[in-house]
Amino acid sequence: MRSPVISPAWKERVASVAIWVSASLIVGVLAWILIDIFMKGFSQLSISFLRDEVEDAGRGGGIASIIASTLAILTVTLSVAVPLSLATAIALTEYTRDLTRGGRFVRRSLDVLAAVPSIVFGLFGNAFFCIALGMGYSILAGGLTLACMALPIMIRTTEQAIRSVPDEYRFAAAALGLSRTTTMFRVVLPAATPGLAAGLVLGIGRALAETAALLFTSGYVTRMPESLSDSGRALSVHIYDMAMNVPGGNTRACATATVLVLLLLFINGAAVMLMRSVGRHVPPTRSGSV
Amino acid sequence: MTPSSPNTLFRFHIDRWLTLITRGAAIISAAVVLLVVAFLAMESWPALRDIGLRRFLTDESWHPLSGSFNLVPMITGTALTTTGALLIAVPLGISSAVFGQFYAPPWMAVWHRRLVELLAGIPSVVFGLWGLVVLVPLLAPLGGSGQSLLAATLVLSLMIVPTIALTSHSALSSVPHELIAGGAALGLQRWAIVWRIALPAGKAGIKTGLLLATCRALGETMAVLMLAGNVPRMPDSVVSPIRTLTANIALEMGYATSEHRAILFVSGLVLLSVVSLFVLVIDFVGGWKNA
């Protein structure tokens, strides 16, 4: 089995090295990014940074109004996306057989929606919510645009959570003479709670990370928002604006990025824990390790 | 699941209401994408009607305020950054999946996967910020300001590595264990098993991942906007600044009116069509379920 050019043993060795190098490269770059952002950001971080209003285009003061706007946008997003995704997931799992045409159509549309670039959502949100529905640049418009974006991932995880509840629960409920609605709200959904929470958390993560869709829907204004029809600047938009449009804004941008990344790390951790407790019901996937 | 046609399990009034309400919600969710397409098409229509697609390719340059609408530099920018990012990210991403499945000790495989998921969760604006603060100064000595095709491509590739790695991972883990064990029983070594058995068997799922990664690269806005330099001219080297279709929208939406605005919607519509086409191909092939 000796080839004249490269022997199999050498191929194995070269491949091993290449695989280990690429894997470490990915992890290394991740560490590089996080360490750089945190190092530059932590020096600026303090309680007053989180509590003060934006001053001097962000070079001074803190990010209190930015955090308030972000939370307001998130609230709008969730109050629309949560009921809608829950109801859609129930329709897709409990009341539609897998192969009905309607069910397949809904799934396909959601697959396309999941892949729509965020800037396209920004265009849509601007044309539909800001102009056609007359909301203008506002927290409401931004939140609704993000709700459209977060729908696919929230529906998908909610669907998985509901599916992971064993059918025996439903049979038992039916044997007790419960209506399907009661079964849903008293048996299936409580059993699926961790998975539902994971869907929620992933939706929050997606919404917090978003920038491009907010540029032309919720806008740039740094003032403390007074109502949902005010324009408000989200954390991610603040990072962008500080880095690109404010000379000397880089360190403040890093501090804001630190806040955002820590928030997302926390959310990511929560999602992993919740998904793991869902995993109990799902048959474990076999790993093909040699 | 239990059947949904009227039967003994389906005799309560309230169930009919729940069915109606949830089906209504499902229709609304499905309609969002149609609404997006409809509004983009409506807003693009003035440009398609009055200017026509041909002028986007044949006009002299991109000077929208003086009525010159050449989109070719932006299309080139998008094509170059996407291709470049794929060239870097595909080998890296697949290697990372192979590492997790075949090379790493189990505890390391778990942590590696977790870190890749973490990389997937970093917001694009943070990638852009890191690129701007760290990478651009490093690249500046190569010529230009450092904000260039190269900077944008490098960071874009980092952003799509997790998509490729995670989909390839699930493709590889669904390869039947018998195939792998059979290869091992024949005395094949690790790499031979990976190259001759696992990768060919997981090809469909890996291809799905590549299409998804292409979608993400085509649509990425913030990182590219912050790193590419945004000059709407054809690039003559990897260190020249470029502008992508997405960055063009983000830069000019703020002040664009009438025709100019409509053209930005046309470029959004083009991106949307390409991405939808990819997703429908994935659905058609059926590999999406593993993703």
The encoded tokens of residue B70 equal 């050449």
Chain A residues inside the 8 Å CB shell of B288: 111
Q: Which of B119, B129, B161 is opposite residue A254, by nearest beta carbon? A: B129
If pLDDT is split at 50, 70 and 90, which confidence band does A177 have? confident
Q: Using CA atoms, how far apart are residues B182 and B195, in angstroms rounded to an integer? A: 14
Average pLDDT of chain A, as a whole number: 86
Taking 60 as the threshold, does the pLDDT of residue A4 lie above it? no
**What's the pLDDT score for residue A95?**
63
Instruction: Tell me the per-residue pLDDT of A136-159, one tens digit each, with 9 for 90 and over.
Output: 899 999 999 999 999 999 999 999
**What's the pLDDT score for residue A288?**
29
Instruction: Tell me the per-residue pLDDT of B180-223, one tens digit each, with 9 for 90 and over.
Output: 999 999 988 899 999 999 999 999 889 989 999 999 999 999 99
- Which among A154, A148, A151 has a CA at the least distance from the CA of A195? A154
Task: Enumerate residues 6+ apart whose C-beta is below 8 A from A233.
Answer: A65, A66, A69, A218, A219, A220, A221, A222, A241
Position A190: which residue type? P
Taking 70 as the threshold, does the pLDDT of residue A284 lie above it? no
ipTM of the complex in this document: 0.88
Taking 70 as the threshold, does the pLDDT of residue B232 lie above it? yes
Taking 80 as the threshold, does the pLDDT of residue A280 lie above it? no
Instruction: Tell me the per-residue pLDDT of A63-92, one tens digit each, with 9 for 90 and over.
Output: 889 999 999 999 999 999 999 999 999 988
Taking 50 as the threshold, does the pLDDT of residue B289 lie above it? no
Taking 80 as the threshold, does the pLDDT of residue A242 lie above it? yes
CB–CB of A87 and B21 under 8 A?
yes
Q: Which of A87, A94, A285 is opposite residue B173, by nearest beta carbon? A: A285
> Of the given ranges (A96-100, A131-135, B16-20, B134-138), which has the lowest mean pLDDT?
A96-100
Q: Determine the residue of chain B that is closest to A116 in CA distance.
A: B272
Q: Determine the residue of chain A that is closest to B189 in CA distance.
A: A12
Instruction: Give the containing element (helix H, strand E) for A219.
Output: none
> Of the given ranges (A14-28, A178-192, B93-107), which has the lowest mean pLDDT?
A178-192
Q: Which of B91, B193, B212 is opposite residue A22, by nearest beta carbon? A: B91
Interface mutation vs chain A, best among B13, B14, B36, most A CBs within 10 Å:
B36
Task: Enumerate residues 6+ apart whose C-beta is below 8 A from B57.
Answer: B70, B71, B72
Min Cα separation A48/chain B (Å)? 23
- Summarize the confidence of residues A257-283 as an average pLDDT: 76
Taking 50 as the threshold, does the pLDDT of residue B77 lie above it? yes
CB–CB of A288 and B190 under 8 A?
no
Which residue is it, tokens 């952002």? A37
Q: Determine the residue of chain B that is closest to A166 in CA distance.
A: B1
If pLDDT is split at 50, 70 and 90, which confidence band does A272 have? confident
Q: Using CA atoms, how far apart are residues A138 and A241, in angstroms rounded to an integer? A: 18
Chain A residues inside the 8 Å CB shell of B30: 105-106, 109-110
Chain A residues inside the 8 Å CB shell of B129: 37, 239-240, 243, 250, 253-254, 257
Taking 60 as the threshold, does the pLDDT of residue A98 lie above it? no
Chain A residues inside the 8 Å CB shell of B100: 23
Q: Using CA atoms, how far apart are residues B154 and B135, in angstroms rounded to an integer? A: 9
CB–CB of B109 and A243 under 8 A?
no
- Summarize the confidence of residues B237-250 as an average pLDDT: 92
Q: Which of A8, A209, A212 is opposite residue B250, by nearest beta carbon? A: A212
Interface mutation vs chain A, best among B42, B108, B122, most A CBs within 10 Å:
B122
How much is the pTM?
Answer: 0.89
The answer to whether the beta carbons of residues A119 and B36 sit under 8 Å apart is no
- Rounded to whole angstroms, what are the CA distances from A34 to A149, A241, B55? 26, 20, 45
Taking 80 as the threshold, does the pLDDT of residue A3 lie above it? no
- Summarize the confidence of residues B102-126 as an average pLDDT: 92
Q: Using CA atoms, how far apart are residues A53 and B130, in angstroms rounded to an integer? A: 25
Taking 50 as the threshold, does the pLDDT of residue B50 lie above it? yes
If pLDDT is split at 50, 70 and 90, which confidence band does A278 have? low
Chain B residues inside the 8 Å CB shell of A253: 129, 133
Our CA dihedral for B218, B220, B221, B226, rounded to 10 degrees, sits at -110
**What's the pLDDT score for residue A99?**
57
Q: Using CA atoms, how far apart are residues A129 and A127, in angstroms rounded to an integer? A: 6
Task: Enumerate residues 6+ apart whose C-beta is below 8 A from B7.
Answer: none
Which tops the pLDDT comparison, A97 or B88? B88
Taking 70 as the threshold, does the pLDDT of residue B4 lie above it? no
Taking 80 as the threshold, does the pLDDT of residue B12 lie above it? no
Q: Phi/psi of residue A53, each to 5°?
A: -80, 160
CB–CB of A23 and B104 under 8 A?
yes
**What's the pLDDT score for residue A97?**
59
**What's the pLDDT score for residue A45?**
85
If pLDDT is split at 50, 70 and 90, which confidence band does A261 have? very high
**What's the pLDDT score for residue B63?**
86
